[in-house]
Each structure stands twice: as C-alpha cells, then as structure tokens.
C-alpha cells in the first residue's frame, strides 16, 4: 500500500499540525502550497463535511493520490454558533477575524462565552472513489484578550479551563493531544495502522 498522501489545504497551520502527527508514518507529504499549479476550490456548502469532501476529491482526483482534507471552525454559543463553517471568512485575516469576534462578544460575561472548535477530517482514496470521516472537538471559552504566540487562527482568544491557558499559549505537540484536529487526525492514524493498511496489504 502506497503511503504517499497529499494534505489538501492552503492553511500552513493545519499542515504543521497534521504533519506532526502523521509524518513518521508516511513517505511523502504535500500541501497545496507545494504545487505550482493554483487549484481553485470554492467552499460553498453550509456543512463542514461537504466542504472537506470537496477539497479532498478535487485534489485526490487531480493527482491520483490518497488525500487528507480538513474542514473546521469555531462555534460560539452566544453568537448562535457563528462563525462556524464561515470561520475562515469572518474577516480578511486572523487579526481582523479575532477583532470582529471580540467586538461581537462585548458585554458577554465569562460564563456565557462558551465555544468549541470542531474538525471534520476526511481520508479520500481516488482509486476507490470512497472516503472515511474523522471528527474531533475541543470545548472552551472565548477570552477577553489575545494571549500566546503559538498556533494560528483564533487560538490566541480560545481559553481552555483545564489548562487555565489560551490555546496559543500551548505548544504544537500539546495542542495536538487535545485539539479538535489532533483528535480527528490521531483517530485517522490509528485507523490507517490498525485496519486500513493491514487490509489493503493482505490483498
Ligand atoms: P483550507 O480550506 O485550505 O484547508 P482554511 O483556513 O480556509 O484552509 P477552513 O475553511 O476549514 O480552512 O476554515 C477553518 C477556519 O477555522 C480557519 O481558517 C481558522 O480561522 C479556524 N480554525 C480552525 N481550526 C483552528 C485551530 O486549530 N485554531 C485556530 N483557528 C482554527
């Protein structure tokens, strides 16, 4: 079984996290940033899973290679689940997105600032046209200010009570152990090693 995998993302924060978990097990990794060709993918579904599948299929079919895609987001209860599936489009860059989030939560007290990160990670096999889905979630709160220099996206304002720290104050390995994406990708890794590779190599 070929252990070459493409990670279908333009987000280098995601690439770093996924690579850290899987790199020792797979031969070659690419991200969309490594291809000269610009591949346009319009994420137009209100459902994470459909967007993740769209990314995985487009890249997997284009390059004929097993592909991992992640669609994720931050769901804030006081904002009825926003920004959710639109998390990457909540502003022009991470800074603007965080600014908007903090503005919208002005006056909302600690206990009502509950939120969660969710990730849907897809492993797509173009030769079979089939895929597996892995889900991960991380519960926490939206803080009142930015803290920490690690991670990406909304990490500086995501407070985790168990650690009494913001996610951006936690190093990559530690984040991977508890995060939405980390949980989904570790589940994918276990599946590939315990099940998928065994089955495909015995054929
Ligand atoms: P690709 O589609 O190319 O993978 P993207 O950043 O556009 O990259 P998404 O559409 O899945 O990815 O958007 C997810 C957004 O949710 C992401 O851009 C961040 O703003 C936020 N997000 C997801 N996981 C996060 C994490 O671990 N830490 C901080 N923010 C995160």
Q: Cβ contacts of residue 182 below 8 Å, gap of 6+? A: 17, 21, 136, 175, 176
CB 195 within 8 A of CB 187: no
- CA 142 / ligand 1 centre spacing (Å): 16
When mean pLDDT is compared across 86-95, 124-133, 167-176, 188-197, the lowest value belongs to 188-197
- CB distance 75 to ligand 1 below 6 Å: no
Q: Binning pLDDT at 50, 70 and 90, where does residue 203 land?
A: very low
Taking residues 93-114, what's their average pLDDT? Answer: 98
Q: Can you name the CATH fold of 4-201?
A: Maf protein (3.90.950)
* Domain limits, the chain: 4-201
pTM: 0.94
Taking residues 194-201, what's their average pLDDT? Answer: 66
- CA 16 / ligand 1 centre spacing (Å): 13
Q: What share of the chain is helix, strand, coil (3-state, %, to 5)?
A: 40, 25, 35
Top pLDDT among 31 and 157 is at 157
Top pLDDT among 166 and 196 is at 166
């Amino acid at each position: 079984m070929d252990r070459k995998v493409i990670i279908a993302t333009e987000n280098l924060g995601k690439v770093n996290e996924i690579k850290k978990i899987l790199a020792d097990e797979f031969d070659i990794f690419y991200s969309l940033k490594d291809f000269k060709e610009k591949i346009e993918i319009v994420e137009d579904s209100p459902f994470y899973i459909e967007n993740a599948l769209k990314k995985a299929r487009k890249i997997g079919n284009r390059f004929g290679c097993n592909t991992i895609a992640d669609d994720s987001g931050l769901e804030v209860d006081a904002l009825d689940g926003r920004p959710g599936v639109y998390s990457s489009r909540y502003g022009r860059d991470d800074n603007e997105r965080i600014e908007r989030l903090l503005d919208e939560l002005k006056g909302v007290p600690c206990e009502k600032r509950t939120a969660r990160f969710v990730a849907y990670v897809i492993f797509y096999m173009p030769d079979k046209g089939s895929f597996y889905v892995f889900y991960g979630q991380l519960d926490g709160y939206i803080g009142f200010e930015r803290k920490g220099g690690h991670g990406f996206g909304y990490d500086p304002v995501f407070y985790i009570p168990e650690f009494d720290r913001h996610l951006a104050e936690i190093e990559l390995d530690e984040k991977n152990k508890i995060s939405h994406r980390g949980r989904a990708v570790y589940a994918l890794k276990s599946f590939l090693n315990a099940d998928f590779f065994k089955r495909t190599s015995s054929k």
